[in-house]
Amino acid sequence: MRPHVVAHLAVSIDGATTGFETDQARFYAMATLWQEDVTLVGADTILAQESAVRVAERPGPRAAGPLLAVVDSRHRVRSLEILRELGYWSDVIALYADQTPAREPDSKIQELVTGYDRVDLVEALELLGRRGAQVVRVDSGGALVGVLLELGLIDEVSLLVHPVVVGSAARWHGSFADRLDLRLANSETFEGGIVWLRYCTA
């Protein structure tokens, strides 16, 4: 069965995911709310943090943590073994496609191969569900969220809205340009004018 999929993003009031300072502590504290089984991350989100990841402390995998699943059909991410050691996740799985470039022969990273030239996100989520995942939290800047929205795969949208207008930056819904009616599940105001909006898509 397909897991419950929640996209949790820090955004500006004009919907940008970058170009402003986010309240990271609050963002990640709130992310624990879902107790996800899988953290689904876009390759570009990992690449944006790669230099910090390489110098971060490595306490080792956290047995009780979620599985980190990275969508990476072009095999651009080379830091998966380090990510597994950061103490947030229990393990890491790379989501690849048939046409993904060859991996290092000594790679110890588990893989899930779906789709031909891009990861088939419908099938990948289905397979993660069959492995026992009930809740997936998407951590991406918008591109991956947009594709998941287009495929009707997002059940919940959680926006931590920061009081700033950024102008021209990528939006949290990526390429998704259809109408989507949402039902407000909860809202809360925090200091600094930050507002949390939690919506269900169905």
Ligand X SMILES: NC(=O)c1ccc[n+]([C@@H]2O[C@H](COP(=O)([O-])OP(=O)(O)OC[C@H]3O[C@@H](n4cnc5c(N)ncnc54)[C@H](OP(=O)(O)O)[C@@H]3O)[C@@H](O)[C@H]2O)c1
The H or E element containing residue 161 is strand 156-162
Task: Name the minimum Å distance from CB 10 to ligand X.
Answer: 4
Q: Is 44 exposed, middle or buried (0-12, 13-18, 19+ CB in 10 A)?
A: middle
Q: How far is the CB of 115 from ligand X (least distance, A)?
A: 7
Measured CA distances, 28 to 39, 181, 198 (Å):
12, 26, 15
2 lies in the binding site for ligand X (CB under 6 A): no
Nearer to ligand X, 73 or 176 (CB): 73
Tokens of 151: 């495929």
Contact segment (CB under 6 A) with ligand X among 31-39, 67-75, 126-134, 178-186 equals 67-75
Give SS3 for 153.
coil
Q: Determine if 71 is a binding residue for ligand X (CB under 6 A).
A: yes
* Per-residue binding letters, 74-113, with ligand X (x by CB under 6 A): x---------------------------------------
199 vs 187: CA distance, rounded Å: 9
Asked if 161 touches ligand X (CB under 6 A), the answer is no
Listed in sequence order, the residues at least 6 apart from 32 whose beta carbon sits closer than 8 Å to its beta carbon are: none
Beta carbon nearer to ligand X, 60 or 86: 86
- Which stretches of the chain bind ligand X, using CB under 6 A? 9-10, 17-18, 22, 42-45, 48, 71-74, 118-119, 121, 139-144, 147, 170
